[in-house]
Structure 1
Amino acid sequence: MKNYLGIGVSIGLLAAVWTQASVALGLITWVGFVAWATYFAAGGGATGLRNGLLANLSGVVYGWLVAQFLTVATFPGALAIAVGVIALAMCLQAGFAPLSFIPGAFVGAASFFGTQFAFWPTVLALVIGAALGWLSGVLGAKIQAVVGPPPSAEATPA
């Protein structure tokens, strides 16, 4: 359990700062947290930052495309068809390494839908959240180096 102290402290401190700052600045707090989680789910480090964030942002673009499609397609089932098409596209893009983290694309699209199609506020919160993920990983390793041995490969949070 001690191996998680560094990451736990860094995430706890940065989560408090993010919550206070995002609320004060009118940013979308929860979107930042899902991007932060995406960073770790995508493997952390430089790869997790790149693959997680790029997948998140691609999902926002796909969500935007659905919103644009719905401005002209008003027939029953239009939303279902559009979502089906972007779900396929989000899976197929995984053949391109920087967009290979499929869950990240779904998180990005869902975040865009969850913000009621607020494109730039969603993008901003995703970028900040990914940066906080990276920062918490760096700070967590530094804190862990001070308080005890670094986590083993098996104990590293995913």
Structure 2
Amino acid sequence: MDSLFALSLTTAIFCGIWSALSSSLGLIAWAGFAGCTSFFAAGGKSKGFKKAILTNLSGVFWAMISIKICQYIEIEHIGAITTAVITFIMCIQAKIKFLDFIPGTFIGSVSTFAASGNWKAVALALILGGILGYICESTGIWLFEVLNKKDNTK
């Protein structure tokens, strides 16, 4: 079994479990998958986990700022103006090392908008999704190593 097969197998198992459990626990399943995707896209391992979580939550924050501005300021094109300003901020914050995974910020933001501003549910699902990704990766590595060690002892 090669490493990609091992990772694919453990990812399939744990994502299936997430899919089954998340809805029954009242969690947003797709937002969890967004968090899991962020984990892998950020490079995986503990560094990717930190980057994914921090940038996802940053995106949630910026989406809520945008939503609140649009709720309280009633001028023409406020949505477009807010989008432009917040988009700039979400990109430029990448100058800060721990916020330099721009796609993670956009994943958090878009997820918040898609959930109609339910930021608490989105934040929780994104964090759990990051944990899901970490579990998928670490168990895939473990499975590969266990099976590879067995093959080398023959």
What is the TM-score normalised by the length of structure 1?
A: 0.90
Higher helix proportion, which one?
2
Code of the residue aligned with 1:48 in structure 2: it is: G
Q: Structure 1 vs Structure 2: percent identity of aligned residues?
A: 32
Q: Which ranges of structure 2 fall in alignment gaps of 5 or more residues? A: 150-154
The count of residues paired between Structure 1 and Structure 2 equals 149
Match of 2:95 in 1: 95
Give the deviation of 1:75 after TM superposition.
Answer: 1.9
**Higher Rg:** 2
Give the deviation of 1:82 after TM superposition.
Answer: 0.7
Code of the residue aligned with 1:99 in structure 2: it is: L
Which stretch of structure 1 is more off in the superposition, 70-79 or 88-97? 70-79
Structure 2 Cα separation of the partners of residues 73 and 3 of structure 1 = 53
Q: Deviations over 1:135-154 (max 9, x none)?
A: 111101001112338xxxxx
Q: Which ranges of structure 1 fall in alignment gaps of 5 or more residues? A: 150-158
Structure 2 Cα separation of the partners of residues 103 and 117 of structure 1 = 19
Match of 1:63 in 2: 63
RMSD between aligned alpha carbons? 1.3
Q: Deviations over 1:37-71 (max 9, x none)?
A: 11010010111000111000000000000111011
Q: Which runs of 4+ in 1 moved over 3 A?
A: none
Indicate yes or no: 2:28 matched with 1:28. Answer: yes
